[in-house]
Amino acid sequence: MKTKIDPLSVVAMVVTVVSISATAPLTAAGSASPLAMAFWRNCLGFAVLGPFLLLLRRREVVRVARGERALLRREQWRPLVFGFLAATALALHFAAFMTSTRLTSVAMSTALVATQPVWQALIAAGQGARTSRRTWAGLALSVVGAAAAAGLDIESGGTALLGDLLALAGALAQAGYTALSERSRADVSTPLYSTFTSLVCGVELLVVCWLADIPLTGFDRATQWSLLGLLVLPQLLGLGALNFALGRTSATTMSILLLLETPVAALTAWWLMGQHIKPATVPGLLLIIVGVTIVLTSGNAEGAAAQQGAYRPEIPPYPAHAPYAPRPLPTPGHVAFRHGAERDPRVDWARYHESPTVRFTYHGAGAFDTVHLRRPRVDEDDPEPEPWPRR
């Protein structure tokens, strides 16, 4: 299928990269405890996602509130437990990543936390998923780049090395969040799941701040502006532009573009805070970006091999919140529809080899609505595109 990138999509991609790149500099610029800022970020995120949830999934919320979904049935306990574990992993990601921005440079923190796809691929390999040689090559490059970039911090030790380790822990926690989310949200829409994880993260971080006696109020003006910036830029503009761009391009493309967060965040920190990049760390940072790019693009090669019959990946379960009632799939070789007839969306569902709403997450931000059930793109050369029924 052809993908047309129009100027509006390019603007959305630029806004996404710039907005999300402001996360680390804004966190580093604040003077409050990173755990307190992580709490307020999730609290503000819940305040933003809640109204959108009521607007986009009001019927689903009503069904859950009335118990029609029977979320606490025996078979639902397992997804619920995985959901809590995923939210806990996300809280660990926020705590580790936001703390690392205070202990090491913004460039090192963002580059090391961007290795999340590397850890995610290792988790998938540990679960028995097939891993290509190209993916292993990207993993090796990322590991070498991380070791080279952190070489100076390893020699000097101290807080910089601790910040590097916390950034890696944040990447691992983010990968764990993604892996656990795949097991917990098969029957829950993305808006409801995102709101749920933000709520759980906020409550858990609130408990940690209370036990550690970390103040949550009385911040200076710089910290208040930083919290406002975290709400407006990555949470509102970044998430909004991200979802708009994901409706026009693939999740793999956006994941690769978001690797630009490292240089953009480093330039922002240099401009606002006078934080310079050590020349000796540049080769390692570049190796990290190249290695992660190889890991991300290897999924496309595996999808092409699947279409050629090398292997067929498992198709994710069809969600219960889909707008059409499931029907039996048509027999192979007979996928014909009359003009104007309703099309079973599971036919389009089975064509996708990646799950942007689950796999595409960045600092806790994922696609707010499912893009699997969007209107399928039609080749420009097709004279009569199939109509999509309205309801």
What pLDDT score was predicted for residue 18?
Answer: 92
What pLDDT score was predicted for residue 98?
Answer: 94
What are 291-339's pLDDT values in tens digits? Answer: 999 988 886 555 544 444 444 445 555 555 454 555 555 555 554 544 4
Position 81 pLDDT exceeds 60: yes
CA distance 230 to 209: 19
CA distance 340 to 388: 8
Position 355 pLDDT exceeds 90: no
What proportion of the chain, given as a percentage, has pLDDT over 70? Answer: 70
What pLDDT score was predicted for residue 378?
Answer: 43
DSSP-based helix, strand, coil % in the chain, nearest 5: 65, 0, 30
Mean pLDDT of the chain: 77
Q: Burial, 372: exposed, middle or buried (Cβ in 10 Å; 0-12, 13-18, 19+)?
A: buried
Average pLDDT value for residue range 120-138:
86
In this structure, what DSSP letter does residue 361 have? E
CA distance 303 to 73: 36
As a whole number of Å, the end-to-end CA separation of the chain is 26
What are 341-354's pLDDT values in tens digits? Answer: 455 554 444 444 44
Question: Quick one: CA dihedral 98, 100, 102, 106, positive or negative?
Answer: negative
Taking CA atoms, 69 is separated from 34, 73, 91, 199, in Å, by: 38, 9, 27, 20
pTM recorded for the entire structure: 0.76
Average pLDDT value for residue range 360-367:
60
CA distance 3 to 9: 11
CA distance 388 to 391: 10
Taking CA atoms, 123 is separated from 120, 178, 230, in Å, by: 5, 10, 30
Q: Are 2 and 377 in contact (CB under 8 A)?
A: yes
What pLDDT score was predicted for residue 332?
Answer: 54
> Predicted confidence band at 75 (pLDDT cuts at 50, 70, 90)?
low
What pLDDT score was predicted for residue 6?
Answer: 76
Measured in whole angstroms, how far is the alpha carbon of residue 78 from the centre of its chain? 23
What pLDDT score was predicted for residue 381?
Answer: 47
Position 93 pLDDT exceeds 90: yes
Taking CA atoms, 237 is separated from 22, 78, 222, 258, 334, in Å, by: 11, 34, 21, 14, 44
Taking CA atoms, 95 is separated from 33, 61, 179, 275, in Å, by: 10, 29, 19, 22
Taking CA atoms, 351 is separated from 165, 306, 329, 335, 387, in Å, by: 39, 11, 13, 13, 18
CA distance 20 to 101: 14
Q: Are 90 and 364 in contact (CB under 8 A)?
A: yes
What pLDDT score was predicted for residue 272?
Answer: 85
Residues 6+ apart with CB under 8 A from 277: 105, 107, 266, 270
> Predicted confidence band at 365 (pLDDT cuts at 50, 70, 90)?
low
Measured in whole angstroms, how far is the alpha carbon of residue 216 from the centre of its chain? 27
Lowest average pLDDT, out of 73-87, 107-121, 264-278, goes to: 73-87
